[in-house]
Each structure stands twice: as C-alpha cells, then as structure tokens.
Structure 1
C-alpha cells in the first residue's frame, strides 16, 4: 500500500509546485502596467525524503534581472528630468507561455494522482471479493 501513497505524494508535490508557479505568473500579468515592477520567476528543486522518494518543491522566487522598458511620458509623476520613467519588465507572451506550461504540468500531475487513486480503488474492490 506504501507505493500508492508514495505516488500520491509525488503527484501532490507536483500539483502544489505548479499551483505556486501559476500564482506567480498571475502576479506578473496583473502587474504588467505597474511602473518599476520586476517579473518574478520560480525555481524548483528536488527534495528527497527519508524513504528515498523525490518530491518537487519550490526552491525560490527570484526577480528577473532584465531592465524595465523606458517609457517617455513627461507628465507622469515618476518621470525624470528627461521625461522618462521605468516601466515593468513583464513580457505577456512569455507569461502566457509559462502559464500554459504550468497548466499542462499541473494537468499531468492531476492525471497521475487520479490514476493512482483509481488503481488503489480497484485493488480495494479486488480484495473485497
């Protein structure tokens, strides 16, 4: 029975990690037009438990080092003497691609979780007979 709970744990860790990634992507999209906002990125790592089972964990959330777009708007409150201010460095195309990748990874982990659950349920049905 341990293998079933192990597989559920692995897929649950993947679900949690991709959920966190989707949350960060949503923050980035929401702040696309926020002046000075820096895009956040998520790094994953592998955590090995005492049982030797590897699970996915969120290692760290970091800020993208790219410079923000320089926008010319002399009337903006954040504009400098030359009339420019720094916009965000969020690229919506990149965020959409990240969101799709995270969504597909989430769905794959969910399918694995469901398969393990169905196998466990099938085993219980066989043992009852």
Structure 2
C-alpha cells in the first residue's frame, strides 16, 4: 500500500516540476523581444524525502546576447547597436513540447496508481 502512495507522490512531484519548467519556458517566450533579457534555465534534482523530483535553482543562460543594429533605438550605443535577448524560440518551443509530454507521462502514471488504489479498496470492501 505504501508503494502505491509513493508512486502517487512521485508522479505528482514530476507534474509539479514540469509545470515549473513550462512556466519558465513561457516567461522566456514572452520576453524574447525584451532587450537584455537572459533565458532562464531550470534543472531538477531528486527530492530525498519523497523520492520524487523537485525544481532546482533557476539559472540564467550565459550565452552571448544578440547584438541588434537600430540607431534610432534609445538603448543604442554610439555604434547604433544594443543588446537583445538570447532566447531562441525554436529551442523554447521544443522545451515546451518536451515538458508537456513529460507532464502527460507523469499524469498517466498518477492515474494508473490511482486506479490500482481504487481497485484495491474495492477488493477490500468485498
């Protein structure tokens, strides 16, 4: 019985972690045109107490910011350039799709564990 509840906790922690990942991907996409914006990266680590996963620290992507030439922009320097963002929409969409699929896999695992628990309770009631 404890294994069933453990699998429910593990699946729930996976869904929570992928939800956090989707939230950061959404922020990255929303700020793709914000000058000076650095892409946020999130990693996961094992949750020692529950055996699941939890979001780790949020890091900023240190790749070079895109230099944009626009002499009329108030942010432009004497050469007419300013720093754009380092968000690549193709990568963000791929990350969002991967997070969505991982979320769905955890949801299916959660549902299977819930169904098994329900079946066990049904058997015990007889």
TM range (shorter): over 0.9
TM-score of the two chains, using structure 1 as the length reference: 0.95
How far off is 1:58 after superposition? 0.8
Unaligned runs of 5+ in 1: none
TM-score of the two chains, using structure 2 as the length reference: 0.97
Residue 78 of structure 1: which of 70, 75, 78 is its match? 75
Residue 87 of structure 2: which of 87, 90, 104 is its match? 90
Q: Quote the residue 2:39 is aligned against.
A: 39
SS in 1 for 2:78: coil
SS in 2 for 1:37: coil
How far off is 1:47 after superposition? 1.9
How far off is 1:4 after superposition? 1.3
Give the whole-Å Cα distance in 1 for the aligned partners of 2:114 and 2:62.
Answer: 42
Residue 109 of structure 2: which of 89, 112, 115 is its match? 112
Unaligned runs of 5+ in 2: none
How far off is 1:55 after superposition? 1.3
Residue 101 of structure 1: which of 85, 98, 103 is its match? 98
Give the whole-Å Cα distance in 2 for the aligned partners of 1:47 and 1:106.
Answer: 17
Provide, for residues 42-95 of structure 1, a one-character-per-residue CA deviation record: whole Å limited to 9, x for no partner.
01111222xxx5210111110000111100000001000000000000000000
Q: CA RMSD in A?
A: 0.8
